[in-house]
Amino acid sequence: MLRRDSRAWQCFVAAIVALLTIASCGSPQQDETSASEHPPASATQSDPTSADPASADPTPTEVDPESPEAAFRAWLKASRAPDPEAACGYLSDALVDKMLAEFQAIGMQVADCAAMTTATAELYAALGQAAEVEVETLSHTAQRAELFVTYAGGDCGRVEMRPRADTWIMTENSEEEC
């Protein structure tokens, strides 16, 4: 086990944070064939039309429950809880494979998406990392959406999402920008 005050621990943490940022960000090069077979439970959100008309920008609870942004926020919440079944349901199979390979490349042996979700949630909790993000929808069609996500720690990137059943999933295409 790595000690928290060691240089190896710091490198490990930096690698995990970078991997999670990269793995959850995407660019527009994925087809719909890699969609996961395990749909997440529908997110419950408040009705945007019932919001105060003076607030033009939707807050996380005012986001359309069927929107790509709502799906991203539901994944983030499930990934930090952790709720591996729900979190993994928002990821394409190809994204899970890519993330597992990246974890294994740094010597972290996780067997599947559920183990990866649990391990990263524990790491974020241990480090006190906030799950706060700003999400901007860059494009949104019936076949594809692209979000720009900025985490509280300053990491940011593009997230490509594809529709599946009654929600949206993240693809393996990654583009960390800052």
Instruction: Give tens-digit pLDDT for 39-48.
Output: 333 333 333 3
User: What pLDDT score was predicted for residue 96?
Assistant: 95
Mean pLDDT estimate for the chain: 74
**Number of structural domains found in the chain:** 1
Query: Mean per-residue pLDDT for 103-110?
Result: 92
Q: Is residue 145 part of a domain?
A: yes
| The 3-state secondary structure of 30-68, one letter per residue | CCHHHCCCCCCCCCCCCCHHHCCCCCCCCCHHHCCCCCH
Joined together, the tokens standing for residue 77 give 């919440």
Among the residue ranges 68-82, 113-127, 164-178, the one predicted with the least confidence is 164-178
Alpha-carbon distance 68 to 141, whole Å? 10
Residue 137 has pLDDT above 90, yes or no: yes
Whether 47 is in a domain gets the answer: no
Domain that holds residue 112: 8-33+59-176
- Whether 139 is in a domain gets the answer yes
Residue 63 — very low, low, confident or very high, per pLDDT cuts 50/70/90? low
Query: Which pLDDT does position 3 carry in this prediction?
Result: 39
pLDDT of residue 38 exceeding 50, the answer is no
Nearest by Cα to 66 from 49, 88, 42 = 42
Kindly report the pTM of this predicted structure.
0.68
CA gap 78, 168 in Å, rounded: 14
Q: Is the pLDDT of residue 73 over 70?
A: yes
- Whether residue 84 is preceded by a cis peptide bond, meaning omega within 30 degrees of 0, is no
The answer as to whether 116 is a domain residue is yes
For residue 128, what is the domain's CATH number?
3.10.450
Does residue 103 contact residue 95 with C-beta atoms inside 8 Å?
A: no
Q: Which region holds residue 158: left if phi is over 0, alpha if psi is between -120 and 50, else beta?
A: beta
Residue 136 lies in a domain: yes
Q: How confident is residue 128, by pLDDT bands cut at 50, 70 and 90?
A: confident
Asked whether residue 101 is domain-assigned, the answer is yes
Q: How many Å from the N-terminal Cα to the C-terminal Cα in the chain?
A: 30
Of residues 90 and 127, the one with the higher pLDDT is: 90
Reply yes or no on whether the pLDDT at 141 is more than 70: yes
Q: 134 in a domain, yes or no?
A: yes
**49 found inside a domain:** no
The whole-number pLDDT of residue 139 equals 96
Residue 9 pLDDT > 90, yes or no?
no
What six digits make up the tokens of 145?
A: 């959406």
